A = this chain, B = another copy of it.
Amino acid sequence: MSGNGFGHTFRFTTFGESHGPAIGCVIDGVPPLLKLSEADIQPWLDQRKPGQNRFTTQRQEADQVRILSGVFEGVTTGTSIGLLIENTDQRSKDYGDIKDTYRPGHADWVYEQKYGIRDYRGGGRSSARETAMRVAVGAVARVLLNTLAPGIVIRGAMVQMGPHCIDPGRWDWDSRAANPFWCPDAETVPVWETFLDGVRKAGSSAGGIVEVTASGVPVGLGAPVYDKLDADLAKAMMSINAVKGVEIGAGFLAAQLSGEDNADEMRMGADGKVHFLSNNAGGILGGISTGQDIVLRLAVKPTSSILTPKKSVDRHGAEIEVITKGRHDPCVAIRAVPVAEAMMAVTIADHLLRQRGQCAAS
């Protein structure tokens, strides 16, 4: 297989290019009897949808999802679920001028080296267009989790844009709804607005750091040794376009801590359950969920689609300078937030089903 799928027991495989007729996927492994309809998926797609404000690409996609199978009279049947989204706003002519050129920082050149051909229209298969399907599958995973393990809440936020960090002390999940950045710190919003307006007007781009958390995850998910929950999450996140780093809990900072400071101590709670006094582990120990919040961060690079000329080469081996016109995001990290949430949801859903398949003799 050439790598277009993810997951084991909850497994999905996607297809579709940026400027082809449609994108879609098959989800295999959804248990039966879950209530599911397009209305469970569409709102998440609408959130991710481009063109909603001046800080994301102006491409206009309806992103209307259709469930083609696996649901009967409003509930899942246990058979494979086909999802389809027609592409409606492909302007392939925008990309005709990059047919023969390789954009620096894009996958153009390596795709051609690997495959001997590339669909140059909008990045083809390497386009972030594919992430719409991740969000759709993520919505199905949320339905699964809500039914089989109620109480799990998966949320993402942007915590750094370019050099500008939020103040974690002002974190308020609800404030995300009031700004176009998934920013959980209202006071940082105007800073980012000013910064990103400048980036956009300069034809440049900015990177960012996204944090995703999952609360209410049951203890015991994760399959050591190689399919540790954090290992699978790292793969899930690193597979998102433009992501260059992933960390769990204390992450890279843990390298500087002493064993005393890093260890999360345990105490018995008033509820008779084990509680942890800190969460440097990010909710995962030995690859297995502890029941604490799973906390991870991903670093997103600035897109290379910029208006400043950059040195490159063309298909004929000539040295050229490239600028990338078209409709691009000045900060792709913004739209990575719902995608990262979706990948968190599918990874947890997969491990939830895996755990059920391995449960103990009683």
Contact = CB atoms under 8 A, between A and B. Distances in A.
B106 A285 contact: yes
A177 interface: no
Contacts of A230: 238
A95 to B, nearest CB: 12
Contacts of A22: 68-69, 82, 84
A130 interface: yes
A4 interface: yes
A65 to B, nearest CB: 13
A90 interface: no
A138 interface: no
Interface centre among A20, A162, A333 (most CB of B within 10 A): A20
Given A105-B264, A358-B353, A252 B256 contact: no
Nearest to A133: B225
A6 B107 CA distance: 26
Q: How many identical subunits does the complex contain? A: 4
Interface residues of A, number: 157
Given A22-B68, A244-B250, A255 B162 contact: yes
Interface in A216-251: 219-220, 222-228, 230-239, 241, 244-251
B26 A13 contact: yes
Contacts of A9: 1, 9, 357-358
A164 B358 CA distance: 43
A215 interface: no
Contacts of A245: 245-248, 251-252, 254
Nearest to A243: B230
Contacts of A205: 258-259
A110 B244 contact: no
A183 to B, nearest CB: 15
Nearest to A312: B266
A310 B282 CA distance: 19
A288 B225 contact: no
A50 interface: no
B125 A68 contact: no
Interface string A300-335: 111111101011110001110000000000000100
A66 interface: yes
Given A233-B238, A262-B302, 8 more contacts: A4-B224, A15-B70, A15-B79, A31-B359, A72-B119, A75-B117, A107-B224, A266-B311
17 contacts: A5-B226, A31-B360, A32-B115, A77-B124, A105-B263, A106-B285, A107-B287, A109-B274, A114-B220, A115-B360, A207-B255, A209-B252, A227-B239, A244-B250, A245-B248, A259-B304, A259-B306
